Structure 1
């Protein structure tokens, strides 16, 4: 069964919703009437039997080159777009 709640209801009753998810329910959270998020068990997202692959530093070496002007100031039109935020 799917339980639909507003974001306000979810904030007020999060511990209860987590218990419902642990019991097998699906919880969908809506914002202004539109479904926006789903609460799910972490164990359903991660296969606990599969070990995490070790990270390999440098695997993407050469895939991106930092341009020489990377640290230059941004153009005025971009700075104006962020004024007042």
Structure 2
């Protein structure tokens, strides 16, 4: 972990972000006290979900795209 001041990170933000991308964790300090931590995000594997994953688990009703009845719209509007 590297401790850097707010002024230092302002001067070279891109450089410090490149260090974070490389795996380094930075602690930002102001007045000698830590105020923030910048660390690399966890890399998630790029796994695509299979097409038709839930096939047969539910049926979309024929009236799915029809307007809602007035009583339901009124309830959403708090009437």
1:3 matched to 2:2: yes
Distance 1:48 1:15, change over 3 A: same
CA RMSD of aligned residues (A): 1.9
Q: TM-score, normalised by structure 1?
A: 0.47
Q: Secondary structure at the match of 1:4?
A: strand
Runs of 4+ aligned structure 1 residues displaced above 3 Å come to 46-49
Structure exhibiting the larger radius of gyration computed from Cα positions: 2
Structure 1, unaligned runs of 5 or more = 50-85
Once the two structures are superposed, residues 4-33 of structure 1 have per-residue CA deviations (whole angstroms, 9 ceiling, x without a partner) of 100000111110110000111111100100
Q: How does 1:1-85 map to 2 (within 5 A)?
A: 2-41=1-40, 43-44=41-42
Distance 2:28 2:18 in 1: 15
- Number of paired residues? 46
Deviation of 1:48 after TM superposition, in Å, equals: 6.7
Q: Secondary structure at the match of 2:18?
A: helix
Q: TM-score, normalised by structure 2?
A: 0.50
Partner residue of 2:54?
none
Distance 1:3 1:20 in 2: 10
